Chain A
Amino acid sequence: MVMTTEEFKRDILRLQPRLQRTAESIIGDADSAADAVQEAVITLWEQRATIKSQDMEKLSLTIVKRRSIDLLRKQKPTIPIDTESLMLAEPPQDDNEERYRLARKLVEQLPRRQRDAILMKYEDGLSVEEIEKATGMSSTHVYATLSRAYKSLREAIRQYKEKQG
């Protein structure tokens, strides 16, 4: 039975962080890794008629690794590529999730303007000019708010560590 679009999308989005980490561990560049993942998704889409849902993870990892190695070869590296070891290597564990949860928890305790400024700059990836337009603040005010937010976060981390003992 052919996977529906929704099923395919759900599986891919679930696997995306792992695929991204795998590609990044091979290529070493987040943006190139994202390109490799996209190419792998297109290949998977074309072959989805023959793919079973339970094989999706294994197959997608294999394709992402191959695409990543292909991209690495295109970059013409001076160091020889050990394709076999790269293909057999386990994808790196996701240790970012725990840290992200803590960061999110500490950021939520900040005052509203500082919290908005930090989330816009780091989570949404907006520039200072874009934050100016979004919040209506001047650039000096944005920089000052961000600076105060860093201080508040340091204080929050210290208090968190003290609590943890």
Chain B
Amino acid sequence: MNTENEMNEEVRQLLDSLEEHGKNARRQKELGDLIDRLADEEKEVAMPRKHRTLTPLWWVMGAAAACLLLWLLVKPNAKQQPEMEQEILVEETKAVDSVKTEVNDGVFEQPVANETFLAEETPLVPQNAPMKKEKPKTQIIEKVVEQPMLVEVKPTEPKDTTNIGSNTIPTENETPSVVQKPQRRVIRSLNLVCYECQKDPEFFTKPVMEDRTLFGQPQDPNMKNGSLALEIKLN
């Protein structure tokens, strides 16, 4: 009986050692898994950290570089701008164009500020420049336009209207920006002169309304072929 018990005890110890070894093997496996999980977690945490720290830095650096570039681009222009504008104004006063108007007696040449021409030649002014700085330019132009002129305007029947049209009214082939606006100036100046003439009735005669238009309105006899014939005489 004792031998049987001893044998049973021996078997139990052997089986316990088997069990213990098995448990240890499972614990080792759990520890291995734990270490792998810790390593994976560390990798997952480490990677976004890098991005989190680097990405904002790059954004800030990029934004700072862009601001610096903008400042470098704008700053010199801002300094040069007043000088450039002075130069342009000087050119404006000099750049006076003339529009030839062929009339009965000859060719009449009228000085006109080439406003449009200058306006097109001034893209040197940066787009960033404030709009206020354009004001002095227009004032100068007004000064040039308002040069004293003495012109007598007498509406008479034109001999050849096409002659005037070809000279005064530019065709589309001509650069409209260069020619049309000075033409407008001419008419404007003429209006000014006419206004002056109204003060002195000797130099001003009203157009006679003889005929009527198709619509029953009184028609100016000087209006033919849709154009106004004017006789301009130098006083």
Question: What is A's interface to B at a CB cutoff of 8 Å?
Answer: 5, 8-9, 12-13, 16-17, 20, 30, 34, 37-38, 41-42, 45, 96, 99-100, 102-104, 106-107, 118-119, 122-125, 150, 153-154, 157-158
**CB distance B20 to A96 under 8 Å?**
yes
Q: Is B21 interfacial (CB-CB < 8 Å)?
A: yes
Bound-state Cα–Cα, A96 to B15, Å: 11
> Shortest Cβ distance from B10 into chain A, in angstroms?
5
A118 to B30, CA, bound (A): 23
Chain B residues with CB below 8 A from A42, complex form: 34, 38
Q: Quick one: given A42-B34, A122-B22, A125-B23, are A16 and B28 in contact (CB under 8 Å)? A: yes
Q: How far is the CB of B35 from chain A (nearest CB, A)?
A: 5
A96 and B17 in contact, given A45-B38, A125-B26, A154-B11 (Cβ under 8 angstroms): yes
Chain B residues contacting A37 (CB-CB under 8 Å) are 27, 31
B19 lies within 8 A of chain A by Cβ: yes
- B7 lies within 8 A of A157 (CB): yes
Chain A residue with minimal CB distance to B27?
A: A34
0 or 1 for each of B1-44: is its CB under 8 Å from A? (1 = yes): 00000011011011101111111111110111011101100000
Nearest 7 interchain pairs by C-beta = A123-B22, A103-B14, A99-B17, A122-B18, A5-B39, A100-B17, A122-B19
| B38 with A20: CB separation less than 8 A | no
Q: Which residues of B contact A38 (CB under 8 A)?
A: 30-31, 34
Q: At the interface, is chain A mostly helix, strand, loop or mixed?
A: helix
Interface of B, secondary structure class, is: helix
Binding site for A on B (CB under 8 A): 7-8, 10-11, 13-15, 17-28, 30-32, 34-36, 38-39
Question: Can you list 8 A-B pairs with a CB-CB distance of less than 8 A?
Answer: A9-B35, A13-B32, A20-B27, A45-B35, A45-B38, A106-B14, A124-B22, A157-B7
From residue B177, how far is it (CB to closest CB) to chain A in Å? 75
Asked, given contacts A5-B39, A42-B34, whether A99 binds B13 with beta carbons under 8 Å apart, the answer is yes
Which among A13, A30, A158 is the interface contact of B28 at CB below 8 angstroms? A13
Given the known inter-chain contacts A16-B31, A37-B27, please indicate yes or no for A125 contacting B22, CB distance below 8 A.
yes
- What residues of A have a CB within 8 angstroms of the CB of B19 in the complex? 122-123, 125
A37 CA / B13 CA spacing, docked (Å): 25
Q: How far is the CB of B93 from chain A (nearest CB, A)?
A: 79
A8 engages B35 (CB within 8 Å): yes
Decide yes or no: A119 and B18 within 8 Å by CB, A5-B35, A5-B39, A154-B8 being known contacts: yes
Given contacts A99-B14, A122-B22, A157-B14, 12 further A-B contacts (CB under 8 A): A12-B35, A16-B24, A16-B31, A37-B31, A45-B38, A99-B13, A102-B17, A122-B18, A122-B19, A123-B19, A124-B22, A158-B7
